[in-house]
Amino acid sequence: MITWRGVLRRFLADPVAIGAGVVLLALVLMAALAPLIAPQNPYDLMQLNIMDSEMPPSWRPGGDDRFLLGTDAQGRGVLSTIMYGTGISLVIGIGAVTVSAVLGITLGLLAGYKGGWIDSFLMRLADIQMSLSTLMIAIIALALFQAAFDANIYAEYAIFMLILIIGIAEWPKFARTVRSSVLGEKGKEYVDAARVIGLPARKVMWGHILPNALTPVLVISTIQVAEAIMTEAALSFLGLGMPTDKPSLGSLIRSGFEFVFSGSTWITFYPALVLIALILALNLLGDWMRDVLNPKLRRGED
């Protein structure tokens, strides 16, 4: 049986998990508290001064104490933009996973429980969706969106569009995972018992089967957050993601990329470092969770 205390004990016994957990917690705190702790508000144009642009980190010659990690081309402190940008990246990642989890769980549950043509139809739909890369779907949709509306509207709704598009593009992963665990649970007697009690199919699915099929969903959710953040970063890097005045980590990397060859590497380097740390921490935690929650990989400790 998996208990909270057992999970906590396993967590504290695993240095990699602790490391990843600490990094993730630090990044989340940093993002959440950005308005309080950031040295400057990069969204407030009044605080920006073009004379501060492209300053190196403060310990390098020509650096300024106000900007620990230097500034970008618009004179925004890189440290402050990273703090705000991490938050935007996390919101998009978590939002997209919520969308695909809701979609995927509903459709996967339906496909697994009902079977027959519903199952075939939904799974073929998933196959088709999986054969188109997420990035391609997102690029097409965002390019259309960008062309159809003017820049201000785009800037305002870009974050919702990113969440929706990435979320919808990733539903098959959840649907397949849920479907396969539903198929495993469906044959068990407690499901028969629930039906014998006279519960309608809806309640059998959501109340009885889903709670038993949720473990793998938990694992892929973590890894999918990392994936969604990466997708968003890639899109932003291509200029289809968050606009430059509300940068995510990806758009920060992109905005600095133009200056890499002129020697201002810090504008790209530090956001990239944070992005890598964030993705790595999420993936390591996801792997750890898979090991802990998978009874087949557990050594008879608890």
Partner 1 sequence: MALLEVRDLRVAFPRGKSDEVEALRGVDLTLDKGERLGVVGESGAGKSMLAFAILNLIAEPGRVSAGAITFDGENLLDLPDRKVRRIRGNRISMIFQDPMVTLNPVLTIGTQMIETLKAHRRISDRAAHKLSVEKLKLVAIPSAESRMDAYPHELSGGLRQRVVIAIALLTDPEIIIADEPTTALDVTIQAEIMALILRLCRENHVALILITHDLGVVAEVTQRLMIMYAGKCVETGRTREIIDAPKHPYSAGLLKALPQNAERGQRLYQIPGSMPPITALPAGCPYNPRCPRATDICRAEMPPLEGGVACFHPLTAEEEVTA
List residues near partner 1 by CB under 8 A. 1, 115-116, 188-190, 192-200, 203, 207-208, 211-212
32: its two tokens: 């959440």
For 238, the 3-state DSSP assignment is coil
Q: Whole-number minimum distance, CB 211 to partner 1, in Å?
A: 4
Q: Whole-number minimum distance, CB 201 to partner 1, in Å?
A: 9
Complex with partner 1: residue 35 or 211, whichever CB lies closer: 211
3-state per-residue secondary structure call for 65-125: CCCCCCECCCCCEHHHHHHHHHHHHHHHHHHHHHHHHHHHHHHHHHHHHHCHHHHHHHHHH
Complex with partner 1: residue 151 or 196, whichever CB lies closer: 196
Q: What are phi and psi of 244, to 5 degrees?
A: -65, -20
Q: Where are the beta strands (DSSP E) in the chain?
A: none
CB 275 within 8 A of CB 89: yes
Residue 210 CA to chain centroid, in angstroms? Answer: 23
Complex with partner 1: residue 195 or 246, whichever CB lies closer: 195
Between CA 172 and CA 176 the distance in angstroms is 6
Complex with partner 1: residue 60 or 203, whichever CB lies closer: 203
Q: Whole-number minimum distance, CB 185 to partner 1, in Å?
A: 10
Q: Whole-number minimum distance, CB 223 to partner 1, in Å?
A: 23
Q: Whole-number minimum distance, CB 6 to partner 1, in Å?
A: 14
Q: Whole-number minimum distance, CB 194 to partner 1, in Å?
A: 7
For 270, the 3-state DSSP assignment is helix
Complex with partner 1: residue 157 or 190, whichever CB lies closer: 190
- Read off the amino acid at residue 191: V
Complex with partner 1: residue 209 or 284, whichever CB lies closer: 209
